[in-house]
Amino acid sequence: MKTQRRLPGMLVILLLCLIFAGAGTVSWGQQPPPSGCCTPEATARAAESAKTIGVANVSLGMSPEEALPALKAVNASFKITVNRLDANWDYKALITQDSMIDPKKRWLLGLDAQTPRGEGGEQFQVQFTSPPSKPYVFNIHRQVDFATQGMPTVENIMAGLRKHYGPESVHPIASGERLVWFFDEQGRAIQGGEATRIQNNPQCHAQEGAGGPDLAWNTLAAPSPYQPVVGSVQCLPLIIVDARITPAQTGSLLARSFAISITDYPLYNNGANATYAWLNQIRKQIASKQLGDAEKRGATIKY
């Protein structure tokens, strides 16, 4: 599906301007989150170590500046949509009741690239970590639908995947239509009985989509201490690659479509919990100011 056509430089610049129109306009003057594992610094380190794993030209840990041209290198016919919060971050976090849309407060969530409609097509999505960390790709999803005259064999796709990621950790479907890889935070493959135990945990799976972290906005206070956002501790140290191949029909040697998803849970959790710590700190500052204002008002009452 790759092509040698290049995106005109001016269009790249315009897309980057759209991405960053407000991507970093959170109140950076706030005090940094508590030290520990889930800070912007820890998120940046996790992003850097994740860059060895990816799909085609797009790697985990990429910044938006890196991800956009990488997507265009995969398929120059992609139309790319920039996904943002549907409301201001401080309104969603219940910090303010002002619902007036401010583009500078709508965080960057992800990029959704799609080819024009046709018999064959491709969709490529990435999700980014949330502030106060810088945005880094923590999730990748790619779906390729092959035209009837261009269908590869299931075996060729499997061989290509194994060449790129190494031997699969588990092979859940005996017919060979699904392969899963588990990697630790250092990018080392997990095999054998440990891989089987992970596979048997339904919460340990790669995500799809470009919507960004699933943050618990409607809490009166962010979790404290900052609990992992993944439901199972077993998933926390894992990078998961899940590939599915759909044959043209049952028993066919040809593939009608191919989908692959990658989720970096260490990067996801660092970013999301840094957000929780930062939001909680803002709430504490607001509460402290409100208490101080109330104490001043009480002092002026005549008794």
C-alpha distances (whole Å) from 229 to each of 38, 162, 214 are: 11, 31, 8
Which residues lie below 8 Å from residue 119, measured CB to CB, with a gap of 6+? 147, 148
Instruction: Return the pLDDT at 222.
Output: 52
pLDDT, tens digit, 9 for 90 and up, residues 234-284? 888 899 999 999 999 988 899 999 999 999 999 998 898 888 888 888 877
Domain chopping of the chain, boundaries: 9-287
Residue 257: its H or E element: strand 255-264
Instruction: Tell me which residue of 20, 210, 14 sits closest to 112, measured CA to CA.
Output: 210
d(Cα 259, Cα 245) in Å, to the nearest integer?
Answer: 7
Distance between CA atoms of 59 and 67, rounded to whole angstroms? 8
Three-state DSSP at 99 gives coil
* Residues 247, 180: Cα–Cα separation, whole Å: 18
pLDDT in tens, 46-93: 999 899 999 999 999 999 999 999 999 999 999 999 999 999 988 888
pTM of the model: 0.82
Please return the burial class of 180, using the count of CB atoms within 10 Å of its CB with bins 0-12, 13-18 and 19+.
buried
